[in-house]
Amino acid sequence: MDAADWDQRYRGSELVWRAEPNRFVEEELRDLEPSGRAVDLAAGEGRNAVWLAERGWEVDAVDFSGVALEKAERLAAGRGVRLRTVRADLTAWTAPPATYGLALISYLHLPWPEMARVLTRAAACVRAGGTLLLVGHDAANPARGHGGPQDPGVLCTPEQVADLWRPSADIVRAETVARPVTDAEGVGRTALDALVRAVRR
């Protein structure tokens, strides 16, 4: 899907996703002391970015859907916080080195060569001691989980991400995690997500 497709999906008064942060984002980052600026890559409607701002981070929310970013700004205003929204294609996005104390990549799915470039740039923009966190549908999900993209070409494993970050960061956690979901018929299912957390050296 391109930016226009996502604009269409996000158009409308209701949020496509919940307003609360992703469960793994909250679990991994709730005890992390805010240290200046954070960037949320593929921020969508801003649920994670707003939650980070509420915790005291100065957040840049980056996405290529202008419609999603407008909704993120409204969500932030309704919660009494501010975001800096940046409309950009992440395959071309860059930031100055060592800008952020936290880089979050949540459910961004691109062909691996493009994804690897985004992940490399994310690591470069985090200063020493800063945190990198990726959460997304795991490569094992189409076969053993539920929902999410079914194209294996846009999915990756925790090991792929960890191997990419390892030259410049210490890997704190890299594993496949289970997430309970409910399907369209109301039946409980399990989705498999990739989770990688690292600390920049």
Residues in the chain: 201
Nearest to 104 by CA among 84, 82, 87, 126: 126
Range of the domain at 64: 3-12+20-200
* Reported pTM: 0.92
**pLDDT tens for each residue of the chain, 201 residues long:** 554 554 455 565 555 456 799 999 999 999 999 999 999 999 999 999 999 999 999 999 999 999 999 999 999 999 999 999 999 999 999 999 999 999 999 999 999 999 999 999 999 999 999 999 999 999 999 999 999 999 999 999 999 999 999 999 999 999 999 999 999 899 999 999 999 999 999
Give the whole-angstrom CA distance, residue 181 versus residue 169. Answer: 32
Instruction: List strands edge to edge, sheet with 37-41.
Output: 84-87, 58-63, 37-41, 100-106, 126-137, 188-200, 169-182
CATH number for the domain including 194? 3.40.50.150
Question: What's 99's DSSP letter?
Answer: -
Domain count, the chain: 1
Q: Which residues are CB-neighbours of 28 under 8 A, at least 6 positions away?
A: 133, 135, 173, 195, 197
